[in-house]
Amino acid sequence: MSAQIEQPYIYRRRELVEPDWTRFPGWADVTPQQWADVQWQRVNCVKNIGQLRTVMGPLLAEEFYADLQRDQEQRATMSMLLPPQMLNTMVSEPTWADGRMPAAGADFTAAFLADPVRRYMLPVFSDRRTDWSSHPYATRDSLHEHDMWVAEGLTHRYPTKVLAEMLPTCPQYCGHCTRMDLVGNSTPTVTKLKLAGKPVDRHTAILDYLRATPGVRDVVVSGGDVANMPWKNLESWLDRLLDIDSIRDVRLATKALMGMPQHWLAPDTVEGVGRVARKARERGVGLAIHTHVNAAQSVTPLVAEASKAMLEAGIRDVRNQGVLMRGVNDTSAQLLDLCFAMSDEAMITPYYFYMCDMIPFSEHWRVSLAHAQHLQHSMLGYLPGFATPRIVCDVPFVGKRWVHQVDTYDTERGISYWRKNYRTSIEGEDVDVTSAEYVYYDPIDTLPASGQEWWRREAAEVHGTDEAGQQEKAQEAAAASRRASVDQLA
């Protein structure tokens, strides 16, 4: 094919850049040795506005902090927790249009507000929609995972696969977290629910269920983030998991491979992963790491080094499960740039991009199903087939569905209908799941005027118009569902 043919997307291999953290006044004296130390990264996470001020010095205008404070008080479903590694990728060298960092004050603040990583990791009030900040059918546990618990923290949604929530914390908290009802600290908007059992009892109960259920062959070990679990505890549990004959695939879920790669580069972690990988290989079990990268600028040399260290330790694959979000990665160029950065430079396989789940205050991030279908189509033909990610909709009570698998789609009202071919743990044998319809909703602001008007009437009639009352009802419903799940397991 002639090189002169103009293509919608132009591939250019880009060298990874580890941003210079000393550009931030608060880190001007931090040494490379400190930066590489996982304990330094953990201790120096930014957890509040005061700490952010210390790092940023005069770079950000006062208006930004007021915007952030308002969001923390009125909208945030996740508390602030930013590792230095992740904060350092915001307004970093790859984003500088003219090769120079924006000047302190108005210029830097504008660039910071526009930054894709900032938009989902450090949301401000002005990011959110004021017309539809939450969808009328948004829920705290939008995927109904704890309704499908078969042991506390163990969701059995698919016939052969389970999700094990090992712990309720992460090294970093994403604003769009689908498990915002459980993970992290409470915020003024969201009082978090708590796991009731002691960790050792919960972890034992999970293994007991897996031993008694040989139809399960695949375990996603998640949370929270397994990087927050002491390695010796995680390794001990994985060792016992690998002793179960029916287990054939184990996936470790950790955003920290990107957000805090120092953890996965620590010698004790690398050595421990090697031990687990050897046992998995001896037993013929596929052991993979699934990480969560949403923007190309997040892929730095340290991230690539951590990924390659895991592969050298014996991990079979490192795969990425991103989330599709407006203002972050909702163009084909952004997605392709990210996929090529991961596959070309970090040996991370693009795997999934999930449509953002319908949690409270997420409407400014979510895209319509039609837009997701367009993006899936636009990526085809550029990446190798094995590295072309599938864009999926995680349909409540169903699970992952490719965006083109929708059964019917009312584009005026933004309502899509889906089917499935298996029962979850909460459906009895009398339920004909093949004929049942399951529903997902587009963000209302993306609909035509007639559809938006229909939703204004629907929301007023069914849910009321008082936002505080809606949030209180959501809290009560989530707590009641969690209590029912725990009581059922007792």
Mean pLDDT by 10 residues, the chain (490 residues): 80 95 98 98 98 98 98 96 98 94 98 98 97 92 90 95 97 95 93 91 97 98 96 98 98 98 98 98 98 98 98 98 98 98 98 96 97 98 96 94 97 96 79 86 97 91 58 56 54
Domain assignment present for 467: yes
Are 87 and 159 members of one domain? no
pTM, entire model: 0.93
Partners of 391 in the beta sheet? 353
Domain assignment present for 7: no
The pair phi, psi for residue 69, each rounded to 5°, is -60, -40
Round to whole Å and give the CA distance between 305 and 261: 8
The pair phi, psi for residue 373, each rounded to 5°, is -65, -40
Torsion over CA of 381, 384, 386 and 391, rounded to 10 degrees? -40
> Residues, the chain, total?
490
Are 429 and 400 members of one domain? yes
Are 386 and 277 members of one domain? yes
Are 71 and 203 members of one domain? no
Round to whole Å and give the CA distance between 92 and 115: 9
Domain assignment present for 16: no
Surface-to-core class of residue 378, CB atoms within 10 Å of its CB (0-12 exposed, 13-18 middle, 19+ buried)? middle
Contacts (Cβ under 8 Å, ≥6 apart) of 340:
11, 13, 14, 296, 383
Domain assignment present for 407: yes
Domain count across the chain: 2
The token duo for 209 is: 């269920």
Round to whole Å and give the CA distance between 13 and 109: 29
Round to whole Å and give the CA distance between 353 and 350: 8
Domain assignment present for 56: yes
Domain assignment present for 188: yes
Contacts (Cβ under 8 Å, ≥6 apart) of 116:
294, 295, 297, 327, 328, 329, 334
Are 79 and 190 members of one domain? no
Domain assignment present for 321: yes
CATH code, domain carrying 436: 3.20.20.70
- Closest of 359, 471, 367, 477 to residue 416, by C-alpha: 367
Angle between helices 106-114 and 62-74 (to 10 degrees): 30
Are 171 and 122 members of one domain? no
Torsion over CA of 267, 273, 278 and 279, rounded to 10 degrees? 130
Partners of 251 in the beta sheet? 220, 288
Are 400 and 288 members of one domain? yes
Are 78 and 218 members of one domain? no
DSSP string, 173-207: --TT-TTTTTSS---SS-------S-HHHHHHHHH
Contact between 16 and 39 under an 8 Å Cβ cutoff? The reply is: no
Round to whole Å and give the CA distance between 391 and 276: 31
Are 88 and 218 members of one domain? no
Are 91 and 214 members of one domain? no
Domain assignment present for 283: yes
Beta-strand pair 286-291/317-324? parallel
Are 316 and 189 members of one domain? yes
Contact between 163 and 220 under an 8 Å Cβ cutoff? The reply is: yes
71's enclosing H/E stretch is helix 62-74
- Closest of 456, 462, 431, 430 to residue 444, by C-alpha: 456
Structural domain containing residue 100: 21-127
Are 113 and 192 members of one domain? no
Beta-strand pair 438-441/249-253? unpaired
